[in-house]
Amino acid sequence: MRLHICAIGRIRKGPERALIDDYLARFDRTGRALSLGPCLEHQLDDRKAVTASEQAKLLDRAIPDGAEIIALDERGQVMSSRDFAQHIATRRDAGIMDMAFVIGGADGLDPDLRARAHKLVSFGAMVWPHMLARVMLTEQLYRAATILAGSPYHRD
């Protein structure tokens, strides 16, 4: 199953970029033996798409047809890392080809897109900057791959 991160805003050179690139490379390496990956990052330019509904159009174009949509939103479901990993594995085993993780901009995700998502996942009730949400997501994807691979990176 291919994974997609569809995110508003470009993250250029800097500490967040370095972390994202590192976790994505680690995810791809670990995921290969698990039929997971690659994880592709779609960075959507928000300069001409200012409102959440304009941004939803950009996000829709980046989400592959038939993809399982996971929207990241503080109002979503708080999951353990193991449950997150298991969800990914279950959808892979169900034959889903693409899973798209969607991250909004400063005003969050368009309500229609949120309603169409198959799942809303929260990293807690606090609001994080979109750049940090992206870093956290890539770390959790790598962590999920290590859990599914049975490697000792994750400790409960």
Ligand X SMILES: C[S@@+](CC[C@H](N)C(=O)[O-])C[C@H]1O[C@@H](n2cnc3c(N)ncnc32)[C@H](O)[C@@H]1O
Closer CB to ligand X, 81 or 122, in the complex: 122
Long-range contacts of 127-133 (CB under 8 A, 24+ apart): 127/74, 128/74, 130/7, 130/8, 130/9, 130/103, 130/104, 130/105, 130/106, 131/9, 131/11, 131/16, 132/16, 133/72, 133/103
Residue 128 among known ligand-binding residues: yes
Tokens of 143: 């962590």
87 forms part of the interface with ligand X (CB under 6 A): no
Q: How far is CA 142 from the centre of its chain?
A: 11
Counting contacts by CB under 6 A, is residue 108 touching ligand X? yes
Footprint of ligand X on 16-75 (CB under 6 A): 72-74
Closer residue to ligand X, CB minimum distance, 93 or 112: 112
Rg (CA), the chain: 15
Is the Cβ of residue 50 or residue 106 nearer to ligand X in the bound state?
106
Chain residues 109-148 in contact with ligand X, contact rule CB under 6 A: 109, 122-124, 126-130, 133
Residues that bind ligand X (CB under 6 A): 72-74, 103-104, 106-109, 122-124, 126-130, 133
Binding site, annotated residues for S-adenosyl-L-methionine = 72, 104, 123-128
